[in-house]
């Protein structure tokens, strides 16, 4: 008889990881909106990178979140 395999992540983890990817992509989109030359404005140098870093932090949290029993 086949044994039940335990997956390393629950469905909640996968949903949170998709949200994290969306946050990261949003940060890159924000950086592309900067109209300053070579992206040296507020959006390209400050806001966009902060959103991307926040997305990566969210991703790490999503990976290590324990599923509720």
DSSP reduced 3-state for 30: helix
CA distance 50 to 69: 34
Q: Give, for all 69 residues of the chain, the pLDDT tens digit.
A: 667 777 888 899 999 999 999 999 999 999 999 999 988 999 999 999 999 999 999 999 999 998 776
Domain that holds residue 25: 11-64
Question: 60 lies in a domain?
Answer: yes
Question: 69 lies in a domain?
Answer: no
CA distance 35 to 44: 9
pLDDT for the residue numbered 1: 61
Total count of domains within the chain: 1
pLDDT for the residue numbered 33: 95
Environment class of residue 19 by beta-carbon count within 10 Å: exposed (0-12), middle (13-18) or buried (19+)? middle
Question: 4 lies in a domain?
Answer: no
Question: 16 lies in a domain?
Answer: yes
For helices 48-64 and 11-32, what crossing angle results, to 10°? 170
């Amino acid at each position: 008889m086949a044994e039940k395999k335990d997956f390393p992540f629950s469905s909640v983890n996968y949903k949170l990881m998709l949200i994290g990817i969306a946050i990261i992509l949003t940060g890159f989109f924000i950086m592309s909106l900067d109209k300053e030359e070579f992206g040296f404005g507020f959006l390209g140098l400050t806001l966009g990178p902060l959103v991307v870093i926040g997305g990566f932090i969210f991703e790490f949290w999503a990976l290590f979140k324990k599923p509720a029993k």
